[in-house]
Chain A
Amino acid sequence: MASVTLRALEKRYPDGYHAVRGVSLDIADGEFLVLVGPSGCGKSTTLRMVAGLEEISGGTIRIGDRVVNDVAPGDRDIAMVFQNYALYPHLTVRENMAFGLTMRRMPRPEIDRRVAAAAESLSISHLLTRRPRELSGGQRQRVALGRAIVREPQVFLFDEPLSNLDAKLRVQMRAEIAALHRQLAATVIYVTHDQVEAMTLGQRIALMNHGVVQQVDAPLAIYHRPANRFVASFIGSPTMNFFSGTVSDNAFQVTSGGPRLPLNTAAMPAGPAVLGIRPEDFVASMQGDCVPFATVTLDMAEHLGHETLAHFTLPGGGPAIARLPGDAAAQVGHRVDLAVRRQALHVFAADEDGRRLN
C-alpha cells in the first residue's frame, strides 16, 4: 500500500473549462478518503487524473514516493471500480477478473489462486463461468470489485461505484466495501455525490465544489464544524437552515424583527452575517442547554414515524425545517415554541464565500 499526495492539481479543458483548481490532498497509507460534492464539482476528474485517465494541466501526483504525472495508467499500480462496472462483456467473470493479471504476464497458478480467493471473499465463486450479461447489477458490481482486488494494487479508486444499485443493495454493498477496506487495509480514494456514503465510509472526507476543495476532515468534524456555508448546506439532510441577520455585541439578530440569539461573538466582526441551524438542533420545548428561538406557525408537518419534519417560515425569512420527535403532535397551522441548542449555532460570513465565523 502507499500514500497518495496531490499538490496544486489543475485541470483545464481545451474549451477553457476549469474543472479542477489547485487541489492539494494528502492521503495516508491505508486511509479511506471520500471525495464528495455535487455533480460537476471536479471530484471525478480529480480521481481520473490520479488514475491517469485524464491528463493533468498542472501540479503533481505522487503515489508512494513516485511522481506519476506522466506514468501510464497501467503502470501506476492502481485499480479502479467504475460507476457503470465497465466489465468486459465478451469475457467470462473469471476472465474479467484475471484480465489485468494476464496482461501483466503473471504465472497461471498465481492468477488462479488470486481469482479464486477474491471470488470466495465476494461470494461470486459460482458465477466464474458466466458472462456479465447473465449477472444482476449487484453481482456485476461484485465482479468489478473482484477485478480490482485480485490486482492487489497500492491504491484503490472508486468512482461512484454504488450509484447504479437500488437502495437496499447499496446499503449492503456499502457495508461490504467498508469490511473490504478493513480486511485489505488498502489506501482508498472513493468518489461519491451521496453524503450518506461519504459519512459512513470515509475516515476523512474531502468536500469539493467548483473544482476547489472546500474542507478536508473527519466526517463528524465536517458535520459539526462546517468550514463554510456550502459545506454546511451539502452535509446533512434535510439541509441546514440559514437565516440572514446581523452580528452585534454577543448576539445574532435575525433580520426583520426575528429572534435575537445570545452568542459568543468575540472572534466575529460585527455586521451582516448568516446564521445556520440544522433541523435536528431545534427542540420543541426548552431544555437546559437551549436558547429560545421563536414561536412559529407550521406550514406543513411530515410525519415519518421516527421523526416529524416541521416546516415553517420566519417573518421576513425563507422557509425552514425543524426535525422534531416522531410523536410530536404537530399539525399544519399549529403554533410551536421552538428553542435551539446553544452549541449548535453556526455563523457564516454574508459574502459569497460564506466562511465560518464562529
Chain B
Amino acid sequence: MKEPRSITLVRHAVLLVFVAVSLYPVLNVVSISLRPGNRLRSTDLAIIPADWTVASYVQLFTEQPFLTWLWNSLVVSGLVTLTGVALASTAGYAFSRFRFIGRKATMLAILTTQMFPATMLLLPLYILIARLGLVNTWLGLMIFYTATALPFCVWQMKGFYDTIPPSLEEAARIDGCSRAGAFRHVVLPLATPGLVITALFSFMTAWSEYIVAAQVMQDEAMFTLPLGIKSFQASLSSQWGLYAAASILVSIPVVAVFLALSRYLVNGLTLGSVKE
C-alpha cells in the first residue's frame, strides 16, 4: 500500500529536525574552532566564518602539549582495550563453558560491582591507587579503567559464547584440536562481533573518561585528552578556539575506530553451522 503524501512529508520533517538536533552542536564546535581569536559567541550564522583560520589547530600542535596528551590517551586506551579483550574473552569463555564451584557466585559478584556508580568508587579506588604509588602513572589509570570496563565486557562475552554451539568445539577436538586449539581456531573467529563490541566499549571507556583521570593524573605531562582539553577552560578566561579544535581532533580516532570495526559487527556468523 502506498503511503499518503502528507505522512511522507511529516516523516521527513521529523527526521530533518533530528538531523538538525544531532548535527548542530558538532557544526557549532567546528565553527568555533575556525574562528580567529577566542570568540565563543557570534552573531554570524555562517558555519564557516568569513575570516576563518586554522590557527587554533596549528597552535594545538605547536604551542600546546596536545601531542603528549594524545599519546597518553592512545597508550592508556590502547592498553585498556588489549587487556579488556584478553581478559573478557577468556573469562567469558570460562563462565560460558565450564561448570565450576562458585561460578554463579562469581558472576553475580562481577555484576554487583556494576551497581555502584563510578563516582562512588572514586575515593576508595583513589586511595588504593595512591597506596600502590600509582598516582600520575599510566598503569594507575589503566587499572581503574580496566576494572570499570571489565565486568560489562565479561558478561557480554559470556553471552556471546553462549550462542556458539558447543558441538563446534567438540567437532574441532575430534578433528585434532586441543581445547585451547578449538578456542583459537573455531570459537574466537566466530566470536569476532563480540570481541569488537568489547574492544569498542573498552576503548571508549578509556578514551573519553574525565573524572577518574582528573584524580589520578595530576601532572600536565601525564594528562589524557579530556583533561588536556578541560585545561583550556579556566575560571577567568577560556581558550574556546583551542577547546573546540581539540574536541574535533579527539573525536576523529573514535569515529575511525568505529568505522574500521563496524564491518565485523555482523549478525549471523554462526548461521548454517548447526541445526537446532
Contacts and interface: CB of A to CB of B under 8 A. Distances in A.
Interface string A67-86: 00000111100111010111
Contacts of A72: 173, 178
A108 interface: no
A306 interface: no
A237 B167 CA distance: 32
A132 interface: yes
A135 interface: yes
Contacts of B168: 86, 88-89
Interface in A30-52: 51-52
A80 B169 CA distance: 12
B271 A84 contact: no
A140 B273 CA distance: 9
Contacts of A14: 99
Interface stretch (A97-105, A189-197, A256-264, A336-344): A97-105
Nearest to A141: B275
A126 interface: no
Nearest to A151: B175
Given A89-B190, A90-B189, A90-B190, A84 B274 contact: yes
A87 B164 CA distance: 12
Contact of A90 (B167, B170, B181, B269): B269
Contact of A89 (B172, B173, B270): B270
Contacts of B190: 89-90
A99 B269 CA distance: 18
Contacts of B273: 85-89, 132-133
Interface string A116-136: 000000000000000111110
Interface residues of B, number: 27
B171 to A, nearest CB: 4
Nearest to B175: A100
Interface in B167-191: 167-168, 170-178, 181, 185-186, 189-190
Given A82-B171, A86-B168, A74 B178 contact: yes
Given A90-B190, A99-B175, A53 B170 contact: yes
B271 A133 contact: yes
Interface string A133-177: 111010010000001000100000000000010000000000000
B276 interface: yes
A104 B171 CA distance: 14
B272 interface: yes
A354 B114 CA distance: 59
Contact of A99 (B170, B172, B268): B172
Interface string B133-173: 00000000000000000000000000000000101101111
Contacts of A51: 170, 174
B174 A79 contact: yes
Nearest to A81: B171
Given A99-B172, A132-B272, A164-B275, A86 B177 contact: no
Contacts of B186: 88
- Indicate the member of B172, B189, B190, B274 with the most A CB atoms within 10 Å: B274
Nearest to B274: A84
A104 B269 contact: no
A88 B269 CA distance: 10
Contacts of B172: 88, 99
A74 B272 contact: no
A78 B272 contact: no
A147 B268 CA distance: 23
Contacts of A75: 176
A53 B275 contact: no
Q: Report, nearest first, the 4 A-B pairs whose CB atoms are least far apart.
A: A133-B272, A100-B175, A84-B274, A132-B272
17 contacts: A53-B173, A73-B174, A74-B175, A82-B167, A82-B171, A84-B165, A86-B165, A86-B171, A87-B272, A87-B273, A87-B274, A89-B270, A99-B185, A100-B174, A100-B176, A103-B176, A103-B181
